[in-house]
C-alpha cells in the first residue's frame, strides 16, 4: 500500500529530502502529498517546491492560543488526506486537538535513544551527560513530549572528539536511513503502528551506525 504522507517541518528539511530520495529510489512506498511548516522561511519548503510538492505554512503568532493553533494546523494537514503524518524536524509541540485527530497515524523522528534525552536538545543533552552511545528514535506521537510508543531506533556512538555539530551530523545520517525505512515498513505491513518488533540489525561500519532492517 502506497502511503499518502503529510510531512511537517520547521527548518532545513533534511529528513524530508531523505524521504523523497528514498521514494524516488523505490525504497519507500509512499507519496508526499503536502509539506507544512510553521516557518515561512524554512529551507525545507524549497525542497518540496523543487519537486512539485504542495506546501503550506502556518506561523505561530505571538499570543495565539496553542489549542487554537493546533486545531487550525489539523485542518491544514487534513487537506492532504494523509494516511500517515510525519513530523520531520517540526519544532512545535502540537496540542490535544491535533493529536486526537491523527491519533495512531502520526510519527516523529527524535535525535536520541528514547526514553533518554527527551525534549528540544537531545544531541546537546547526550553530550552533557557524557554517554558513549546515543542515536535516533522513530515513535508514535502522543500527548507527552517524546513519550509515544517507540517504533524503531538506530544507535550512534559518541566519539571522544565530538562536538554538537559533529555528533548531530552523524545522528542525522542515521535518521535519513531509519525514517524512510520505517515508513516503507508501515506501508508494506512489516511494522504495525501498535508496536511491531524489528527482526534483525545490520551494522553500517563506515558510519558506525546500527540500522534496523525488516523481514521481507
pLDDT tens, residue by residue, 108-141: 999 999 999 999 999 999 999 999 999 999 999 9
- Closest among 161, 142, 158 to 150, alpha carbons compared: 142
3-state secondary structure of 84: strand
Domains with residue ranges and CATH for the chain: 1-103 (3.40.50.170), 110-216 (3.40.50.170)
**Is 70 exceeded by the pLDDT of residue 209?**
no
Give me the mean pLDDT over the 3-9 stretch.
98
Provide the pLDDT for residue 201.
43
Band (208; pLDDT cuts 50, 70, 90): very low
Q: Say what percent of the chain tops pLDDT 90.
A: 80
**pLDDT (tens digit per residue) in 11-64:** 999 999 999 999 999 999 999 999 999 999 999 999 999 999 999 999 998 888
Is 113:155 a contact under the CB 8 Å cutoff?
Answer: yes
Active-site residue set: 110
Which helix (H) or strand (E) covers residue 63, if one does?
none
* End-to-end CA gap in the chain: 15
Amino acid at each position: 500500500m502506497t502511503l499518502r504522507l503529510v510531512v511537517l517541518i520547521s527548518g532545513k528539511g533534511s529528513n524530508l529530502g531523505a524521504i523523497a530520495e528514498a521514494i524516488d529510489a523505490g525504497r519507500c512506498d509512499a507519496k508526499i502529498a503536502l509539506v507544512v511548516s510553521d516557518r515561512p522561511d524554512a529551507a525545507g519548503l524549497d525542497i518540496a517546491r523543487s519537486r512539485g510538492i504542495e506546501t503550506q505554512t502556518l506561523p505561530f503568532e505571538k499570543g495565539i492560543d496553542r489549542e487554537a493553533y493546533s486545531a487550525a494546523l489539523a485542518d491544514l494537514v487534513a487537506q492532504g488526506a494523509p494516511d500517515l503524518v510525519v513530523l520531520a524536524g517540526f519544532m512545535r509541540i502540537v496540542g490535544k486537538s491535533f493529536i486526537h485527530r491523527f491519533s495512531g497515524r502520526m510519527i516523529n523522528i527524535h535525535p536520541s535513544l528514547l526514553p533518554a534525552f527527551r525534549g528540544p536538545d537531545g544531541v546537546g543533552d547526550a553530550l552533557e551527560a557524557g554517554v558513549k552511545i546515543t542515536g535516533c528514535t522513530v515513535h508514535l506521537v502522543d500527548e507527552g513530549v517524546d513519550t509515544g510508543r517507540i517504533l524503531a531506533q538506530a544507535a550512534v556512538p559518541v566519539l571522544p572528539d565530538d562536538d554538537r555539530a559533529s555528533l548531530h551530523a552523524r545522528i542525522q545520517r542515521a535518521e535519513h536511513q531509519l525514517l524512510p525505512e520505517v515508513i516503507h515498513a508501515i506501508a508494506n505491513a512489516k511494522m504495525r503502528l501498535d508496536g511491531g518488533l524489528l527482526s534483525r540489525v545490520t551494522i553500517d561500519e563506515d558510519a558506525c551506525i546500527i540500522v534496523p532492517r525488516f523481514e521481507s
